[in-house]
Amino acid sequence: MTHLVDSGQRSLGVTFPNEHEATIQVWAPLAKYVAIKIYGHPTALPLTCEELGYWSLTTSQIKPGDLYTFKLDGQEEYPDPVSLCQPQGVHGPSQAVDTGIFRWTDDSWKNPALESYVLYELHTGTFTEEGTFQSLESKLDYLKALGVTAIEIMPVAQFSDSRNWGYDGVYTYAVQNSYGGANGLQHLVDTCHKKGIAVVLDVVYNHFGPEGNYLGNFGPYLTDKYCTPWGKAVNFDDAWCDGVRRYVLENALMWFRDFHIDALRLDAVHAIKDFSPVHILQELRQKVDELMAATGRQHYLIVENDLNDPRYIDPLSEHGYGMDAQWNDEFHHALRVAAGEATTGYYADFDGLNHLAKSYKDAYVYDGQYSVVRNQFFGGKAANNPGKQFVVFSQNHDQVGNRKLGERSSQLYSFDALKLLAGAVLVSPYIPLLFMGEEWGETSPFFYFVSHTEPELVEAVRQGRKEEFASFHSNGEDVPDPQSRETYQQAKIQWKLIDQKPHRILLHYYQTLLALRRELPALAHLDRTRLNVDTDPKTETLVLHRWHDDQHVVCLMNFSKQAQSITLPAVGEPDANWQKLLDSADERWQPESASGTSEAPESVTSTGTVLCPPESFILYVQPHEKSRFHLPDPISQGLYLS
The 10s digit of each residue's pLDDT in 531-584 is: 999 999 999 999 999 999 999 999 999 999 999 999 999 887 777 899 999 999
Which of the residues 262, 304, 341, 438 is marked catalytic? 304
Residue 639 has pLDDT above 50, yes or no: no
Cis peptide leading into 502, omega within 30 of 0? yes
Which of the residues 168, 237, 267, 615 is marked catalytic? 267
Confidence of residue 249 (pLDDT cuts 50, 70, 90): very high
Lowest mean pLDDT of 2-11, 40-49, 173-182, name the range.
Answer: 2-11
In angstroms, the CA 139 to CA 178 distance is: 19
The model's pTM: 0.96
State what percent of residues in the chain have pLDDT above 90.
86
Instruction: Report, as an integer, the average pLDDT of 487-493.
Output: 95
Confidence of residue 475 (pLDDT cuts 50, 70, 90): low
Exposure string for 469-489, b = 16+ CB within 10 A, e = fewer: beeebeeeeebbbbbbeebbe
- Helix H or strand E encompassing 456: helix 455-468
Residue 473 has pLDDT above 70, yes or no: no
Cα 616 off chain centre by = 28
**Contact by Cβ (8 Å): 577, 604:** yes
Residue 638 has pLDDT above 50, yes or no: no
State what percent of residues in the chain have pLDDT above 70.
96
Residue 169 has pLDDT above 50, yes or no: yes
The 10s digit of each residue's pLDDT in 350-399 is: 999 999 999 999 999 999 999 999 999 999 999 999 999 999 999 999 99
pLDDT of residue 594: 64
Instruction: Report, as an integer, the average pLDDT of 344-355.
Output: 95
The 10s digit of each residue's pLDDT in 172-202 is: 999 999 999 999 999 999 999 999 999 999 9
Q: Is 397 annotated as a binding residue?
A: yes
The helices-and-strands tally (H runs, E runs) of the chain is 17, 31
Q: Is 284 annotated as a binding residue?
A: no
Q: Given 3.40.50.1980, 2.60.40.1180, 3.90.1150.10, 3.65.10.10, which CATH number is that of 529-623? A: 2.60.40.1180
Mean pLDDT value across the chain: 94
To the query of whether residue 267 is one of the catalytic residues in this protein, the response is yes
Q: Is 314 annotated as a binding residue?
A: no
Q: Is 333 annotated as a binding residue?
A: yes
pLDDT of residue 642: 42
DSSP-derived letter for residue 318 is G
pLDDT of residue 407: 95
To the query of whether residue 250 is one of the catalytic residues in this protein, the response is no
The 10s digit of each residue's pLDDT in 584-637 is: 999 999 997 666 678 899 999 988 999 999 999 999 999 876 657 777 888 864
The 10s digit of each residue's pLDDT in 303-312 is: 999 999 999 9
Instruction: Report, as an integer, the average pLDDT of 154-171.
Output: 96
Lowest mean pLDDT of 373-382, 409-418, 479-488, 587-596, name the range.
Answer: 587-596
Q: Is 329 annotated as a binding residue?
A: yes
